[in-house]
């Protein structure tokens, strides 16, 4: 998976165009719909707030608490068991995958936990590469869903 320019949310204003923005309203509604249909409920919903570059819904699914994350700039979605600044534990969840894949690219934990190779980040802008150099993420998931400032 080659990461697209702007995935981190960083860019040089005088050089690069701003990254695209994903509309969070349909995502929020879908989170509520899926949770209700699955016998769960939304505990919390957060829009991207400094320093995070993603939306997330904290969901209680029957016996399975989880987080559904959506990158703020591209329609990349992930599921996690833990979401804390600097610590996101990505998991796979078949129900979420099935319900969200018609609308978003659902990324699997193996993909998100994969190490960073230069060819995967070759499409990023110089501001993003500077952030990667500074923060030193170890996985693709740490780039797509980050808490960088």
Tokens 């979605």 found at: 77
pTM: 0.96
pLDDT of residue 72 exceeding 90: yes
Residues 127, 131, 133, 138: is their CA dihedral positive or negative?
Answer: negative
pLDDT of residue 91 exceeding 90: yes
Per-residue pLDDT tens digits for 95-132: 999 999 999 999 999 999 999 999 999 999 999 999 99
pLDDT of residue 7 exceeding 90: yes
Spans of all domains in the chain: 24-114
Percent of the chain past pLDDT 90, that is, above it, reads: 91
Where b means 16+ CB within 10 Å and e means fewer, 128-145 reads: beebbeeeebebbbbbbb
Q: How many CB atoms lie within 10 A of CB 32?
A: 16
Tokens 């697209």 found at: 4
């Amino acid at each position: 998976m080659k990461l697209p320019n702007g995935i981190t949310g960083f860019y040089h204003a005088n050089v690069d165009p701003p990254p695209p923005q994903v509309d969070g309203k349909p995502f929020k509604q879908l989170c509520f719909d899926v949770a209700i249909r699955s016998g769960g409920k939304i505990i919390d919903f957060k829009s991207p707030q400094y320093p995070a570059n993603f939306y997330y819904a904290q969901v209680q699914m029957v016996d399975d608490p989880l987080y559904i994350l959506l990158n703020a700039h591209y329609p990349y979605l992930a599921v996690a068991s833990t979401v804390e600044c600097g610590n996101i534990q990505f998991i796979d969840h078949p129900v979420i995958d099935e319900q969200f894949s018609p609308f978003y690219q659902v990324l699997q934990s193996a993909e998100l936990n994969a190490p960073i190779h230069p060819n995967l980040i070759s499409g990023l802008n110089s501001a993003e590469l500077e952030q990667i150099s500074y923060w030193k993420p170890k996985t693709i998931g740490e780039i797509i869903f980050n808490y960088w400032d």
